[in-house]
Amino acid sequence: MRDDNDEDLLTTMSHELRTPLNAILGWVQLLRAGGVCGPEIERALEIIERNARIEAKAVDEAIDLARIASGQLPITRRETRWSEGLRAAIAACDSAARARGVAIDVDADPEIRVMGDSARLAQIARGLVMCAVRRTAPGGTVRVRLAARSGQAVLSVREDRVLDGDAHTRASKRNALVGDGRGLGVAVARGLVRLHGGTLEEDDCGLTLTARVPLVESVRATDANQARALRAG
Contact 218, 206 (CB under 8 A): no
Query: Which backbone phi and psi does 162 adopt, to 5 degrees?
Result: -60, 140
CA distances from 209 to 56, 61, 204, 212 (A): 25, 19, 10, 10
78-220 fold = Heat Shock Protein 90 (3.30.565)
Where, residue-wise, is CATH 1.10.287 in the chain?
Answer: 4-69
The CA radius of gyration of the chain, in Å to the nearest whole number, is 20
Q: From the CB of residue 135, how many other CB atoms can be counted at a distance below 10 Å?
A: 23
Q: In the chain, which segments carry CATH 3.30.565.10? A: 78-220
- What whole-number distance in Å separates Cα of residue 191 and Cα of residue 215? 18
Q: Tell me the one-letter amino acid at 167.
A: A
Percent of the chain whose predicted confidence (pLDDT) is above 90:
57
Q: What is the dotted CATH code of the domain comprising 4-69?
A: 1.10.287
Q: Taking the chain (233 residues) in consecutive chunks of 10 residues, what is each chunk's mean pLDDT?
A: 58 79 91 86 89 89 92 93 96 94 97 95 97 93 96 95 49 39 86 96 86 88 66 68
pLDDT in tens, 11-51: 777 778 888 889 999 999 988 888 888 888 888 998 999 88
What are the angstrom distances between the C-alpha of 177 and each of 89, 136, 200?
A: 20, 17, 9
Q: What is the pLDDT of residue 175?
A: 36
